[in-house]
Amino acid sequence: MADSILFGIAQKIIENIASAAVKEIGSIWGVAKELSGLEETISTIEDVLLDAQEKKNHNHQVSSWLKKLEGVIYEADELMDDVSTEALRRQLMSGSNMSKKVRTFFSSSNQLVFHRTMAHKIKDINDRLAAVSKNRTDFHLEVRHEESRAVLRTREQTHSYIPEENVIGRESDRKAILDLLLDTKVEEDVSVLPIVGLGGLGKTTLAQFVFNHEKVRTNFDLKMWVCVSENFDVKSLVEKIIKSATDHCKKNQEMDQLQRKLQKEINGKRYFLVLDDVWNENREEWLKLKNLLSKGAKGSRIIITTRSQRVGEITTDTMKPYKLGILDKDNSWSLFKNVAFKPGHEPNNPNTKKTAMEIVDKCGGIPLAIRTIGSMLYSKPEAQWSSFLEMEFLRMPQNENNILPTLKLSYDNLPSNLKCCFAYCSLFPKDYQIEVDMLIKLWMAQGFIKPSSSGHSLEEAGFEIFNELHLRSFFQEVKENDWTKKLESKMHDLMHDLAVQVAGTECATLHSVGENIDGRTRHVSFNFDLNPSGQFPTFLSKENRIRTILFPPLWGNSGMLVSWDVVLGLKVLRTLDLHHSGKVPSSIGKLKHLRYLDLSRNYEIRTLPASITKLQNLQTLKLSGCANLVELPRDLKKLVNLRHLVNDGCDSLTHMPLGLGQLCNLVTLNEFVVNEKGVGPTNKPHNQGQVGVGGLNELMELNNLRGELDVRNLRYGKDASEEYKDAKLKEKQHLHTLQLSWSIRNNDSDDNVDATSEGEDYEITLESLQPHPNLKKLRIFDYRAGVRLASWFSSLTTLDRLVLRRCGKIKNVSPLSQLPCLKSLKLVWLSSLEYISNSNVMSVPLLATLQRLELERLPNLKGWWKDVSEEEEEDIPPFECLSQLTISHCPQLTSNMPLYPYLEGELELTDIYRFKTFERTQRMKMKMMDSFSPLSKLTWLKIERIESLQSLSEVLTSSLISLRKLCIWECPKLKTLLPAFQHLTSLQELEIRSCHEVDIYGDGGDENMWQALQSLLILNLQDLPQLETLTDGLQQLTSLKKLTLEECKSLVGIPEWIGNLKSLRELRIGGCNKLTSLPEGLHQLASLQSLDIRDLPQLETFPDGLQELTSLQELKFYACESLADIPEWIGNLKSLRKVGIGGPNKLTSLPKGMRQLTSLQELSIRDCDPILNKRCERQTGEDWHKVSHIPRLCIDNERINPPQEPSTSSSSAALEKIFNSFRRLQLCNK
């Protein structure tokens, strides 16, 4: 990583020296000549850096030269950062008082000393750089710029032949490819099908498999195979294509001769061409080649194999790229056996076979990994396999391990700045969901992102880098977090290993306090908790090169003890992540290089130290979740480079500081808190205001704000509206989400608000808060007295989500019909709302684009339209696009609602008297769609607290053919389930809770009814007083994977036939007071992986048959008051990985069999007898020897054994670590 970043650092140093501010300070200090010399030296070095990076792998002297250069370049960067920071400080003090301020800051003698010191440092750096630079001529380094192609690293040449018996697990892929190739509906004469996937997935193998198929031979006149690799030279490729077609091609021919020869060979022929291993992402180059190949007969096909999705996109116009997936478990095992064992010599030793199958499972379906590991094991005696398991994956002999070298080809093909960005990701733990927005901020802090020449912001340029890495398969599974709604992604474990390899000593991740780091390390992350009882790594005080300190997320942690003396000694820190760290010292301002500071979730912080405003280079200040933070520093305006003030969850903030509006670079501001007492319209406090308090008009010039803005504590009245109008929200074109929340006084309830006297004040205030028409999401909370919505609603032509909550006096939401793009509408606690539309059914069109509708706690809502006759109700139009619908606590809503036959997602009906609209929707006849059944696409249905519901036959009809999840909660009159379930053939999850009259037994014909639920995977029965035993019909649920029985107080026994549920993986039984024992039939559940038993006061022991559950991985038993001991046979449960024991119970010791649980990773003991706790004490407890081998042991939520460094004595732990590289590859093609 170090040599990759040097090029970027050199460029940045040159840019700094060339800036007007640095030139000015150079003249003042008398070092202009030295700075000019430094610029010249750096430029000379920069010219040859890229060439040196390429040659270092083959030339030890060049490698040594780069190492010498690295330290000096970094020092030069830090020095120029000092100079730039001082120049910036002087700019901030510019003006009439500058001289006075400078004299105050420096006495004349101190100024002279400072200037001389800086001049000496510049000269010293220049001399050292010049000395190192002089050696470059010895290595014959060539001048090369970023645009030049790097030295090409080509993989071994591929060919078209592969023995069919060597291809395992790709039959379905071959069939799919052949179907696409031979599809006669494709209009293009010559069409292109890219096969895309991570290195090692077998793209070339699949292409070979297809190339040699009989259908290809019979359907094409000509077959050609060309291995492209990185050198996408059109002339060279044409030569290779001709050679593949004719077996020869004359050398040194002109391009025109070649193209005529090519046309002669393919003209009028239906040809099939494979271009293997394509890297070129230049569409113009591709089009040149494609044009030369366009004369083939109709039906000609080209297959391209590539690792890059972008290549796939630019090479095809009609066919969608085929994304190659992983091998399934069975095919993975078949492939492994094929390469690891001699034919017919599969191991007889069950332990060896089990280990082999674990290896296959950990390989995650990656053929290259399976072949590599299998081939390594082939030559080793089975007795030596354990030593192989203890080997670190990255330390495997490289002559035997071609996995990472194969992936490194992708890395070598990256530009230098992308290489740095990728390598930096090694600081995150494996399988970690990386927040993309945060990652970009971290890259910015290290200077990896350059301003875009196209005028894009740093953040936009950063996202382009991330997208490039994603398209090249360095990242996977990009998705929106369900909770934060932010984009997240993660690296496949193999890619993480590659990142660790290429980062080298530049980045280090520590797993325990006792570890140390290399002297060249500059970026450090900590993959363990530093809680108050822990120790901050003091060795860092000796590492003055450190630029990054990162900690893992500590959600819910009580905080960590930070040695601020150590942190403040890291003078060149650019990134400091100390969330959950407690108070911040007043001397934080000494870290003047800091760009990224994360203090989030520090609940002790009430104020920030004033010196934090000296961090003039700071770009990101994260304060998320600092719930007790009352105010921000008064001089926050001095942070002139601040781009991201992340302050969501700062619930105690009372106001924003005066001058915030001067932060013209600000891009992120999550929350703006309006001061309750107000400020004057020109930021001068009036009688009600406070000194140093900024009003909402601070936002006036902050037009770069992006993302989400939550404006809290809004007031109402004419003064407030003038202030808010000056905020010019309508000019914030980059905001996509706006939340407006009014202040709530203690006596502010809907009943106490006078809509007549205060309503107009609320309405003029809302009018003054008009947002930009680009807004996507709008939330309005506590708009208590306003009767009407603002007139500007109709201008929000791109709004797709709207939430109105606690707007108690609103009676009219008709403007919603003017929102043409609205997809989601949520109305909550609008207590005065009677109708959504005050017009009749036909006069105003429905929200045609609406996909999600939530109507909650609308006590007076009677219907959608105000005037609807009974005759008109029969012709009420349906929602055309609605896929999710929630109606909750709307007691007067009995009819007069649009129908919803097209629902594809969720339907939730809670606390409504009748569901007449639901019934009418099911009965409706679709015009011109006789074959369509209403609600036939509905997948999720929840019915809760429907007073009138007596039988499920009222709602579950034959039309619900797609229903996959059904929840029935608290329906007090519900008695009959049968025979409604017979229609639910797609049902996968069924939950019946707190239906006190329900009878699940039926009249004896229930067996066939339950048998219809062959797709059911999850059954949850809770709080059913009538349930005394399980009906025999349940044993028909042969696909059931999870069964929960809770709070069924009358349940006296579980039938022995439970052992017939062969697919069951999870069983949870709790709160069944009359249950005295567990059935012996449990031992037949061979697939059971999790058993959770809790709150069974009469359970005294476990049935002996449980010891036969060899697949059991998790065992929990809590609040079993009569349980006196754990059987010794627990040691037979060899697969157990997690055990939880909770009181009250009679346990006072653990069985010796615990020692035999070698796979156990975690043991949690909670609320048990103090005698048991004492026996498990570290080193001194009588049972310590029984549990000391368990990596994570917790008693009453306190960890007894701290995390240990990896040990070669534990083969199971080593196995987990080695093969983390192969877990959970979920690339595509699902």
For the ranges 567-576, 635-644, 745-754, 1153-1162, which has the lowest average pLDDT?
Answer: 745-754
If one compares 378 and 1222, the residue with the highest pLDDT of the two is 378
Query: Residue 1166's closest CA among 1189, 1145, 1150?
Result: 1145
DSSP string, 83-102: HHHHHHHHHHT-STTHHHHH
Instruction: Yes or no: say if 730 and 770 are a contact pair by the CB < 8 Å rule.
Output: yes
For the ranges 157-166, 458-467, 738-747, which has the lowest average pLDDT?
Answer: 157-166
Helix, strand or coil for residue 246? helix
What pLDDT is recorded for position 388?
A: 56
d(CA 296, CA 262): 10
**Hey, which bits of 578-726 come out as E strands?**
596-598, 620-622, 644-646, 656-657, 668-669, 671-673, 693-694, 707-714
Mean pLDDT of 1056-1066: 93
What pLDDT is recorded for position 1008?
A: 66
Beta bridge pairs of residue 1046 = 1022, 1070
Instruction: Yes or no: say if 625 and 601 are a contact pair by the CB < 8 Å rule.
Output: yes
If one compares 1004 and 368, the residue with the highest pLDDT of the two is 368
What pLDDT is recorded for position 628?
A: 94
Q: Name the pTM for this structure.
A: 0.82
Highest mean pLDDT among 247-256, 319-328, 1066-1075: 1066-1075
What pLDDT is recorded for position 99?
A: 46
For the ranges 130-134, 141-145, 515-519, 1224-1228, which has the lowest average pLDDT?
Answer: 1224-1228
**Which residues have C-beta within 8 Å of that of residue 986, sequence separation ≥ 6?**
961, 962, 963, 964, 1015
Q: Which residue has the tokens 């934060």?
A: 484
Tokens matching residue 59: 């030339």
Phi and psi for 226 in degrees, rounded to 5?
-135, 130
C-alpha torsion sign, points 464, 466, 471, 476: negative
The yes-or-no verdict on residue 452 having pLDDT over 80 is no
Mean pLDDT of 693-707: 95
Instruction: Yes or no: say if 570 and 595 are a contact pair by the CB < 8 Å rule.
Output: no
Instruction: Count other C-beta atoms under 10 Å from residue 1202's C-beta.
Output: 14
The yes-or-no verdict on residue 200 having pLDDT over 80 is yes
Query: Residue 418's closest CA among 462, 478, 459, 455?
Result: 462
Question: How does pLDDT run across 1095-1149, given as a tens digit for each residue?
Answer: 999 998 899 999 999 889 999 999 999 999 999 999 999 899 999 999 999 999 9
Question: How does pLDDT run across 767-823, given as a tens digit for each residue?
Answer: 999 999 999 999 999 998 889 999 999 999 999 999 999 999 998 898 888 899 999
Query: Residue 266's closest CA among 250, 289, 233, 285?
Result: 289
Question: How does pLDDT run across 633-667, given as a tens digit for each residue?
Answer: 999 999 999 999 999 999 999 999 999 999 999 99
Residues above pLDDT 70, as percent of the chain: 85
Give the orientation angle of helix 234-246 with respect to helix 255-266, to 10 degrees.
40
What pLDDT is recorded for position 667?
A: 97
Number of H helices, E strands in the chain: 31, 41
**Which residues have C-beta within 8 Å of that of residue 1223, sequence separation ≥ 6?**
362, 364, 431, 493
Burial zone of 629 (CB within 10 Å; 0-12 exposed, 13-18 middle, 19+ buried) = buried
- Give the residue extent of every domain in the chain: 2-139, 164-323, 332-399, 405-492, 706-822
Q: Residue 1033: pLDDT band by 50, 70, 90 thresholds? A: confident
Q: Residue 386: pLDDT band by 50, 70, 90 thresholds? A: low
Question: How does pLDDT run across 821-858, given as a tens digit for each residue?
Answer: 999 999 999 999 999 987 766 555 678 899 999 999 99
Mean pLDDT of 312-331: 88
- State how far Cα 410 lies from the chain centre: 23
For the ranges 31-45, 434-448, 525-539, 543-557, which has the lowest average pLDDT?
Answer: 525-539
The yes-or-no verdict on residue 1216 having pLDDT over 70 is no
Instruction: Yes or no: say if 713 and 728 are a contact pair by the CB < 8 Å rule.
Output: no
Q: Residue 744: pLDDT band by 50, 70, 90 thresholds? A: confident
What pLDDT is recorded for position 103?
A: 45
Mean pLDDT of 298-302: 93
Mean pLDDT of 580-597: 90
The yes-or-no verdict on residue 473 having pLDDT over 90 is no
What pLDDT is recorded for position 122?
A: 87
Mean pLDDT of 97-106: 46
**How confident is the prediction for the chain on average, in pLDDT?**
84
CATH number of 405-492: 1.10.10.10
Instruction: Count other C-beta atoms under 10 Å from residue 397's C-beta.
Output: 8
Beta bridge pairs of residue 598 = 577, 622
What pLDDT is recorded for position 111?
A: 61
Query: Residue 1102's closest CA among 1135, 1141, 1065?
Result: 1141
Question: How does pLDDT run across 861-870, given as a tens digit for each residue?
Answer: 998 888 777 6
Alpha helix positions (H), 675-810: 718-725, 755-767
In the CATH hierarchy, which top-level class contains the domain 164-323?
alpha beta
